[in-house]
Structure 1
Amino acid sequence: MEILITGGAGFIGSHVLAQLKEMPDMDVVVFDNLSSGSRNHVPDGMELIEGDICDEEAIDAVFSDHHFEAVVHLAAQTMVPVSVEQPVLDCQINLEGVLHVLEACRVHGVPHILFSSSAAVYGDNLNIPLVETERLAPTSPYGVTKMTTEHYLRVYHELYGMDATVFRFANVYGERQGEKGEGGVVSIFCKLLSHHQGLTVFGDGSQTRDFVYAGDISQAIIRALPLKGYHTMNVSTGQETSVNDLIHSFEKAVGHSVDVTYTAPRTGDILRSVLSNGALKENLDFVPAMDLEEGIRRTYEWYQGQWAQ
């Protein structure tokens, strides 16, 4: 099976590639501009094409040279603050770029596209655990582009018969996150603790998130490759974890207590967030299994290894 992974040299993509390299029946092509990814993430034997999804001609050339049976679209502008500060840039990458990929799939007859959406499409909704049928009310341009892409995928399925799978990721963490950028709270904490610095928490630490390991995200994506039709699934643990509980997991990983400074909450931060994973279990017979303490230990040890080099 020949598949294309856009953004495959990035954080989540690197975990997907690591699992795919153990599957000899998979012929994998990676398309990435390496702005936040690294060619070191692409295993030997996989083709890496350096290019940008905003370059329509480059996208078409890749599809013309291959016969993909599925496209996993991970290439994106992923930072909510960047989308707030530069909404036009966010739109160019996360909508115009997506449309270039979708059109290439349509024109070249690719039957299935799998898309990395986000919990950001739900906005600040306390009807938790959130299910896929909840009203979508994103509170950032980033969330708007993810929601809009979901609608494009639905329409492409209805108009052109393209199979489409939408994954709404919870708070993803794991090795290699934020190598060239800020990343999420886990990667920020990893970097600070690896440099023997204390942590800063906005608010009292009672705010919650649903932390899902990138390796579990990768398993969900790979399991969904044969899916037919149009599907929307949260990829989550379904477990609510406070920032204070997250810090306790870090203390176990580092082997000692850590210094924490609590400061004023940030305007617009969501207080509670957890996603239902019922649809994931129903469609793929899969639920993320990584224990948070083990996942944090693996992630922290990877960061320690990076700074020791």
Structure 2
Amino acid sequence: MKLLVTGANGFVGKNLLVHLQEMPDVDVVAYTRSNTVDELPELLKGVDAVIHLAGINRPQDDSEFVKGNTDLTQCLADALEALAKHHGKRIPVLYSSSIQAERNNPYGLSKKAAEDALLQLEQNTGISVYIYRLANVFGKWCKPNYNSMVATFCHNIIRDIPIEIHNEDAEVKLVYVDDVVQSLITTARQAVNATQNNEELPKTGFVEANPVYTETVGSIAKQLKAFKHSRETLISERVGTGFTRKLYSTYVSYLPTDAFTYTVPKYVDERGVFVEMLKTPDAGQFSYFTAHPGITRGGHYHHTKTEKFLVIKGKACFKFRHMVTGEFYELFTEGESPEIVETVPGWSHDITNVGDDEMVVMLWANEIFDRENPDTYACPVVKPHSN
């Protein structure tokens, strides 16, 4: 599949091209600001579909809206119509419009006129046209202090630059750049395959990249500040799913290289070191500790707290004793054979380095350690004497 991508150096264009480069069956012809509309007929040769992303949204003069949005799209439509009429080739076109096309402002009017030019092209030639009225697109590589609130907020909050919010309760609709890219690629493939195989085309007209998220300006700013604060508290936000996952990935993408790392506290005593890495609001915390040869750690029990231990270096002996029955159990594990050891409420437990070298152990607990209510009670594990 060969695609012409206009606006290839723009925010969505950069993300799209990287995804397309990962696909061995796709060739890309890029149209950027270094090209002219006169080159379009030549660039369209051999192309299977057009993804039209080029446009103007922050001009110095409103007249640039017409030139960069309406006129450019009309030139593209004219070139596509000429190919269809003179060579019988109907090349599907996907257009990134904007929800602003519904509004009576210079930008919106120019995008609406561009949509109309493509819809007229479809009517004149039967060329398949897919129009995306995109909400506010956010994600990596979007230029801050330009036309994206999310990009500006991420850039400024990371660098301790104040952000301006005029109405915290104002709602905005957002769509993530990878979701846009995936939708564009899927629609382009379906349109090309249907065109080449004389099959039924996907429904043309207006297409939506999903999911679309509705958030308030204030809630976005609050969440981004919480991401920043999490480096101090070590408590991660819920960044594994949905909008928060995508917003966090966007936030991290604006980190300068000197902020790729951050330090965490290290607690040292005669036994070794203990380091907390990550805490979560509802899924516990992750830590690691070391122990010198012969050193025993633990010697306590919990009523509710549970833990998982993974020895990643060295040799360990785990001992357990039931707090009511006195039942005793011990086991051995080592870093060469990864094995999770789980502590059980109501059993006192400890871990001893039985190797000749320092032992390193990764630890997960199902709750954040609370010094005021630690649910940790000292009780050394004593191995019963054999008869």
- TM norm structure 1: 0.71
CA distance in 1, matches of 2:162, 2:230: 12
CA distance in 1, matches of 2:7, 2:257: 22
- Residue type of the alignment partner of 1:222: I
Aligned partner of residue 167 in structure 1, secondary structure: strand
Aligned partner of residue 107 in structure 2, secondary structure: helix
Could you list the runs of 5+ residues in structure 1 that have no partner in the other structure? 34-49, 123-137, 258-288
Which whole-Å deviations, capped at 9, do the CAs of 1:133-191 have from their partners, x for residues lacking one? xxxxx131111111112222111111111110001111110111016x61310011112
Counterpart check, 1:294 vs 2:245: yes
Alpha-carbon contact 1:119-1:169 (below 8 Å) kept: yes
Q: What is the correspondence of 1:1-309 to structure 2 with a 5 Å cutoff? A: 1-33=1-33, 50-51=34-35, 55-63=36-44, 66-79=45-58, 82=59, 86-108=61-83, 109-122=89-102, 138-178=103-143, 182-203=146-167, 205-225=168-188, 226-227=190-191, 228=201, 230-255=204-229, 291-305=242-256
How much is the aligned-residue C-alpha RMSD, in angstroms? 2.3
Alpha-carbon contact 2:92-2:128 (below 8 Å) kept: yes
- Give the C-alpha shift of residue 91 in structure 1: 0.3
- Give the C-alpha shift of residue 224 in structure 1: 0.6
- Residue type of the alignment partner of 2:227: A
Question: Residue 265 of structure 1 aligns with which residue?
Answer: none
- Residue type of the alignment partner of 2:46: H
CA distance in 1, matches of 2:159, 2:7: 29
Could you list the runs of 5+ residues in structure 2 that have no partner in the other structure? 84-88, 192-200, 232-239, 261-387
CA distance in 1, matches of 2:228, 2:257: 15
Alpha-carbon contact 2:171-2:215 (below 8 Å) kept: yes
CA distance in 2, matches of 1:230, 1:197: 44
- Give the C-alpha shift of residue 290 in structure 1: 6.8
Alpha-carbon contact 2:29-2:43 (below 8 Å) kept: no
- Give the C-alpha shift of residue 223 in structure 1: 0.8
- Residue type of the alignment partner of 1:201: I
Alpha-carbon contact 2:74-2:118 (below 8 Å) kept: no
Question: Residue 328 of structure 2 aligns with which residue?
Answer: none
Which whole-Å deviations, capped at 9, do the CAs of 1:73-131 have from their partners, x for residues lacking one? 0010023xx3xx62211101111111111112222334200000111122xxxxxxxxx
- TM norm structure 2: 0.57
Higher RCO (Cα < 8 Å, 6 or more apart) = 1
Alpha-carbon contact 1:15-1:214 (below 8 Å) kept: yes
Larger proportion of helix: 1
CA distance in 2, matches of 1:187, 1:242: 15
1:307 to 1:13, Cα distance in 2 relative to 1, 3 A = farther
Aligned partner of residue 301 in structure 1, secondary structure: helix
Alpha-carbon contact 1:115-1:167 (below 8 Å) kept: yes
Larger proportion of strand: 2
Alpha-carbon contact 1:194-1:307 (below 8 Å) kept: no
Aligned partner of residue 70 in structure 2, secondary structure: helix
- Larger-Rg structure: 2
Provide the aligned length of Structure 1 versus Structure 2.
236
- Give the C-alpha shift of residue 307 in structure 1: 7.4
- Residue type of the alignment partner of 1:103: D
Which whole-Å deviations, capped at 9, do the CAs of 1:273-307 have from their partners, x for residues lacking one? xxxxxxxxxxxxxxxx9722222211121111367
Alpha-carbon contact 1:111-1:163 (below 8 Å) kept: yes
- Residue type of the alignment partner of 1:111: I
Aligned partner of residue 3 in structure 1, secondary structure: strand
- Residue type of the alignment partner of 1:173: F
CA distance in 2, matches of 1:101, 1:59: 7
- Give the C-alpha shift of residue 255 in structure 1: 2.1
Q: Equivalent pairs: percent with the same residue?
A: 22
Alpha-carbon contact 2:71-2:114 (below 8 Å) kept: no
Alpha-carbon contact 1:210-1:239 (below 8 Å) kept: yes
1:105 to 1:248, Cα distance in 2 relative to 1, 3 A = same
Aligned partner of residue 217 in structure 1, secondary structure: helix
